[in-house]
Each structure stands twice: as structure tokens, then as C-alpha cells.
């Protein structure tokens, strides 16, 4: 029977050298340090037996985000077969970091998906500081001369076009809370199916020598594309919200941007909501629920949050359970809940909290509206996630 290998380091005089693990929570260790050590030592990024080595290209790569606000990828690499490797470095001191960094790296992959090879070259050429016609290939082939330029360019172009990137999140404490990580990746479908979590350890000897070790803790390679199931059926489908009044649409866009800029979620594994059209924002929820959506309806001056359920036996069972406990549910949420087996705008089952106490067209009520929606969203996240354990 095979057994796990053990390693013993002996000093020059044959005595064992003892190492102790160093916690990465001191000022000596930060994410800039983590970036540097991984960039300078790409063998630490090896997550499998892939025969194509990883070649670091640059750190802090600025990526053009829609709306004019660039974002920054920690490390951009390429394998020698042309496959892009995106690396984010995170020391998990903040319990929200896991959710946020996964969202970040998926966003960076979305930005790069659809790039042409020429687009990537234009983006990287200033960082490489090379005046040649193909600086990306020249940089990679300088370290690995046994690759063919035409094959490399064609393969890289194909990876970019299809979004088949390798994504690595590297840091300490990776192994904790992997269940919510799988849940989050499952909602993002194909683009999240090649993400790996890499845990880094630092061991230090009595003499001060340090041993740096990385170990893969999680790999998403079999994620089905299920994101279409999570698209909202709701608030943009309300008849009055289809109106073409640009002033109201612009006001809503401004409102939701401010709401998302101020929102803080209590639950560390809950994904930050995203804009869905002009009139609402959405955050996915674990199965057998689908999502929570914050909304504003002009015709009734109503704002609120609704939870949608899957049209499955499991979704129906959970809904019926909550329906039977409606009074208790209202007490948990601190407000009246509206439980609808079917509403005027969808056949899906939903639970809603809402209010019409604000004049929502008056921009002077923006801050109290945001406070109300933030409070109700947090309460619903915390309450309903408990009900699926």
C-alpha cells in the first residue's frame, strides 16, 4: 500500500533541521510579497502535471473595464502552449475576501474573453518593453526555445476567443469554507470551470531559513453552464418598467450604482449583487433557491427584496415549509413577508418584503431607500441561507 511521503532536511553535520509554520498575518507578509515570490518562482504555481510550463509575463496588469474604470490583475502568465494563466493573490485576513477575490478573477476572465491575439499584444507590449514584432512569443521563447511561433499564436488566440483560461487564486487558509466556493463557481458556469485554489505555506527554521510550499486545495473542472437558470424573471418584466422614459431609467441607474457602492453584506459567502438591466440588482442564492433581487417599481412607489425558488420538487418543498411558518418568518425578518405561489409577472414561487413609504422619484429619499434595501437584503440572506442547512 502506498503511503504519504515525508521529507527530512539534514544539516551539513547530519542533524535534522526543524521547521515551524509561520503565520502570514504579520507586516512581513502582504499580498505584494506574495505576488513577488510567485512571479519570480513560477514553479510554485504548478497545480498539476501539465507538461507546458508557466511563464510569468507581468504583474498588476491593467484591464479595461466597461465604463472607463480599469481593474488590475495581480499576475498574468502564459503556458508555453499559449494558454493564458490568471493569478490572484490573497491573504485571507478578511472573511469577505474569499467571495470578493473569486468575483474579481472571474471578472478579469470575462474582460479578456473575446480578445484577439493582437489585442493582447497591444496590451502587453508596453509592459514587456520589447520592440520586436511579436514580443509575447519572444518573451516566452526566450525561456523555452522549443516552441513554434505559429502554433503558439494560433493556440493563444483560440484560448482567448473561447475564454479557456487557467485561473489560480493563491494564498493562505485556502482550504477553509470550500463548500461556498463550489457553490459560487457553479453559478458562473463555463468561464469558472478552470479555477484552482492554491494554498501557500511558509516554514522557518531556527536559523531563519525559510521553506515555501504550495499545495492545490480545490479545482473546478466539471462545472456545468447553469448561469441561464439564474437570470431574473422579474422586475424588468413589470409592464411599467418597460417604459422608455430615459429620465427614470437614468435615475435608477444612478441609484443602483450608489446602492452597490455602499452595500456591505454580513454573510461572508454571499456574492455581491450585480446590476440586471436598469431597474433591479440580483445576487444568486444556493439551491433550491435561485436568487434574491432588490427592486424599485415606479407605478406603485414600491421598493423591496424578493427571493425566487427553483421549479423543482426540492424548491417546492422548501417554499411550502416556509409558507407554513409565515408568522415565524416575519418575526425573523422583522417585517411582514408576502409569500406568493404565483404572481402577476411570473409563475415562479417567491417571497417578498416591500414598502411604499418612500417617494421613490424624489432623489432626496435615496439614502433612506438604500438603508432600507441594504437592511432587508442582509436579513433575507442571513435568514434564508440558514434554512437550507
Domains parsed from the chain with CATH numbers: 19-220 (no CATH), 231-386 (3.30.1460)
Look at residue 371 in the predicted model and tell me its pLDDT: 95
What cell was used for 60? 498588476
Burial label, 218 (beta-carbon count in 10 A; 0-12, 13-18, 19+): middle
Strand boundaries in 280-335, DSSP class E: 280-284, 289-297, 302-309
The answer to whether residue 170 scores a pLDDT higher than 80 is yes
* CA 243 to each of CA 232, 272, 298, 377: distance values in angstroms, whole numbers, following the listed order: 18, 28, 10, 26
Higher pLDDT, 188 or 367: 367
pLDDT at 99 over 70: no
At 373 the pLDDT is 96
Task: State which H helix or E strand residue 338 sits in.
Answer: strand 338-340
Long-range contacts for 307-313 (Cβ within 8 Å, ≥24 apart)? 307/350, 307/351, 307/352, 307/380, 307/384, 308/232, 308/233, 308/234, 308/346, 308/348, 308/349, 308/350, 309/348, 309/349, 309/350, 310/229, 311/347, 311/348, 311/349, 312/288
What pLDDT was estimated at residue 231? Answer: 37
Residue-level pLDDT at 94: 58
Q: Counting beta carbons within 10 angstroms of the beta carbon of residue 97, is it exposed (0 to 12), middle (13 to 18) or buried (19 or more)?
A: middle
pLDDT value, residue 137? 94
Question: What is the reported pLDDT for 162?
Answer: 82
Q: What is the pLDDT of residue 388?
A: 72
Under 8 Å between Cβ of 31 and 91: yes
Residue-level length of the chain: 389
Contacts of 389 (CB under 8 A, 6+ apart): none
**Which residues, at least 6 apart from 340, have a Cβ–Cβ distance to it below 8 Å?**
349, 350, 351, 352
SS (HEC) of 184-251: HHHHHHHHHCCEEEEEEEEEEECCCCEEEEEEEEEEECCCCCCHHHHCCCCHHHCHHHHCCCHHHHHH
Is the pLDDT at 228 greater than 50? The verdict is no
How high does pLDDT run on average in the chain?
79
How high is the pLDDT of residue 136? 95
How far apart CA 307 and CA 289 sit, in angstroms, is 8
Q: Exposure pattern of 53-74 as b/e (b: 16+ CB <10 Å)?
A: bbbbbbbebebeeeeeeeeebb
Q: Which residue has the higher pLDDT, 33 or 177?
A: 33
**Which candidate, 261, 238, 282, 275, places its Cα nearest to that of 366?**
261
Amino acid at each position: 500500500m502506498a503511503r504519504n511521503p515525508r521529507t527530512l532536511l539534514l544539516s551539513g553535520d547530519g542533524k535534522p533541521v526543524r521547521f515551524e509554520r509561520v503565520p502570514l498575518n504579520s507586516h512581513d507578509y502582504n499580498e505584494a510579497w506574495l505576488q513577488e515570490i510567485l512571479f519570480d518562482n513560477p514553479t510554485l504555481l504548478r497545480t498539476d502535471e501539465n507538461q507546458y510550463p508557466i511563464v510569468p509575463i507581468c504583474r498588476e496588469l491593467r484591464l479595461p473595464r466597461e465604463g472607463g474604470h480599469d481593474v488590475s490583475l495581480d499576475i498574468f502568465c502564459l503556458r508555453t502552449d499559449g494558454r493564458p494563466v490568471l493569478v490572484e493573490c490573497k491573504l485571507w485576513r478578511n472573511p469577505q475576501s474569499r467571495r470578493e477575490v473569486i468575483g474579481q478573477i472571474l471578472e478579469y476572465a470575462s474582460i479578456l474573453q473575446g480578445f484577439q491575439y493582437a489585442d493582447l499584444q497591444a496590451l502587453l507590449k508596453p509592459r514587456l518593453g520589447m520592440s520586436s514584432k511579436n514580443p509575447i512569443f519572444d518573451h516566452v521563447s526566450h525561456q523555452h526555445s522549443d516552441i513554434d511561433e505559429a502554433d503558439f499564436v494560433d493556440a493563444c488566440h483560440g484560448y482567448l476567443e473561447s475564454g479557456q483560461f487557467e485561473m489560480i487564486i493563491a494564498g493562505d487558509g485556502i482550504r477553509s469554507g470550500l463548500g461556498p466556493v463550489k457553490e459560487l463557481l457553479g453559478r458562473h458556469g463555463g468561464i469558472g470551470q478552470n479555477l484552482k485554489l492554491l494554498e501557500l505555506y511558509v516554514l522557518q527554521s531556527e536559523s531563519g531559513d525559510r521553506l515555501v510550499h504550495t499545495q492545490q486545495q480545490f479545482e473546478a473542472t466539471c462545472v456545468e453552464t447553469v448561469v441561464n437558470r439564474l437570470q431574473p424573471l422579474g422586475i424588468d418584466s413589470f409592464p411599467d418598467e418597460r417604459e422608455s422614459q430615459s429620465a427614470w431609467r437614468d435615475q435608477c441607474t444612478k441609484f443602483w450604482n450608489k446602492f452597490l457602492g455602499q452595500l456591505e453584506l454580513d454573510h461572508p459567502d454571499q456574492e455581491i449583487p450585480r446590476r440586471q438591466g436598469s431597474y433591479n440588482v440580483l445576487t444568486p442564492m444556493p439551491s433550491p433557491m435561485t436568487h434574491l433581487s432588490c427592486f424599485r417599481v415606479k407605478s406603485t412607489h414600491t421598493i423591496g427584496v424578493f427571493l425566487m425558488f427553483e421549479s423543482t420538487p426540492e424548491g417546492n418543498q422548501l417554499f411550502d415549509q416556509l409558507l407554513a411558518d409565515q408568522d415565524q418568518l416575519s418575526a425573523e425578518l422583522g417585517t411582514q413577508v408576502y409569500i406568493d405561489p404565483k404572481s402577476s409577472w411570473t409563475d415562479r414561487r417567491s417571497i417578498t418584503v416591500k414598502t411604499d413609504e418612500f417617494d421613490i422619484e424624489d432623489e432626496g429619499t435615496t439614502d433612506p431607500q438604500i438603508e432600507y434595501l441594504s437592511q432587508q437584503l442582509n436579513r433575507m440572506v442571513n435568514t434564508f441561507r440558514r434554512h437550507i442547512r
